[in-house]
Amino acid sequence: MNPIGLIFIAAGAFTMAGAICDWDWYMNSRKARFFVSILSRNGARIFYGLLGLAFVVVGVLAAMGIIDMSK
């Protein structure tokens, strides 16, 4: 099992949790404020939810060895 895949899974789960739970401190961070100003708060939540889902999928594929992350 690739440990980089596990890191991607953890980062994706954290990103999805921030979007789903609508954490103020998460959505008011400097980087998230850019997306909130462009997409609105709900749009930014959807964006971060999809981004987190993509991280989880890549992490699972990397952990299973389907994607080679060693390069």
Is the per-residue pLDDT at 57 higher than 80?
Answer: yes
* Domains of the chain, residue spans: 3-63
Is the per-residue pLDDT at 70 higher than 80?
Answer: no
Which candidate, 17, 44, 24, 57, places its Cα nearest to that of 67? 57
Give the per-residue pLDDT at 2: 81
For residues 58-71, give the mean pLDDT.
88
What is the per-residue pLDDT across 14-44, written as a single tens digit (0 to 9) for each?
A: 999 999 999 999 999 999 999 999 999 999 9
Which candidate, 8, 7, 6, 10, places its Cα nearest to that of 55? 8
Give the per-residue pLDDT at 29: 93
Is the per-residue pLDDT at 52 higher than 90?
Answer: yes
